[in-house]
Amino acid sequence: MWFDKLNPISVGHLGVTTLLACIALLPQMRFSVVRLAVVIAIGGAGLYVAVLGASRGPLVAMVAALGFLVCAKYGRWWVIAPIVLPVIWFVIEPLLSDAGVLEALRFSTILNALLSGDAGYDVTSSLRVEAFGEAWDRFASNPLFGSRFDLVNGGYPHNLWIESGMAMGIVGLVLLSGCLLVSLRRAWQLVQLDHWLLPLLFVQYAVGAMFSGAIWGSGPFWTIVAPLLVVGRGAARARPVALSSLSVFRRY
């Protein structure tokens, strides 16, 4: 099947981006049954593609982006999620099972693993852990400025933060961490102003870069960060937003 030849991570992120873009339209859209139906249909198609990709990274990035949206928009109410969501799941899970919905979703290897409670420690996970260990050793050999841009086998550790430490040492980690913190502050402000698109995509691709990112291959992430910093700073000047619930971002 031609679909099998595509990169599952890219397919997953395409689906997640489509879904998040549809969600970002909601606060800006004039209500109409037709418009809402179109947005739901396109967003549902995006979710279907994300699940079909059967890759962990995009799905985790999607959950992180939606969680960030809830935290930034509704403040402290998000803390009840760990209690409410399991209760909702235990209520609807028998209904979905009886209707055969869960069985229909088992075409996805990732969902099959999650639903069966056997997410497991597969070969890919093992290789990633080995790559993390080697990258850490490279960082430890020259922690200030780093030692090299790739692993011994020519690969990369599939984690933008770890690779920054390996390649550029503490200097690189400080630069990347500062960029992430400032971007997160801008994203938080934009969500409170009901501008959701850039914040959602930032969280998606930031989390994605921690699962399968590289310095040379994080174009979408940096493409989102640049306008986020510009638009977010302009929005903050036009309408300052209090961030008392996230004190680490009080100053920039």
3-state secondary structure of 166: helix
Q: Are 172 and 146 in contact (CB under 8 A)?
A: yes
pLDDT digits (tens, 9 = 90+) for 136-162: 777 777 778 777 666 666 666 777 777
- For residue 247, the model assigns a pLDDT of 39
Our measurement of the distance from residue 159's CA atom to the centroid of its chain's CA atoms, rounded to an integer in Å, reads 13
> Residue for token digits 């809830």?
70
The pLDDT of residue 81: 57
Query: 64 with 207: CB under 8 angstroms?
Result: yes
For residue 134, name the pLDDT band (cuts at 50, 70, 90): low
Q: How much is the average pLDDT of 212-223? A: 79
Q: What is the pLDDT of residue 42?
A: 92
**CB neighbours of 43 closer than 8 A, spacing ≥ 6?**
18, 19, 22, 23
Put simply, whether the predicted model's pTM sits higher than 0.85 gets the answer no
**pLDDT band at 243, cuts 50/70/90?**
very low
Token pair in block for residue 122: 């597969």
Rounded to the nearest 5 percent, the helix, strand and coil shares of the chain are: 80, 0, 20
Angle, nearest 10°, between helix axes 56-74 and 160-192?
30
Kindly tell me if the per-residue pLDDT of 126 is higher than 80. no
Q: Which of 103-107, 193-197, 234-238 has the highest mean pLDDT?
A: 193-197
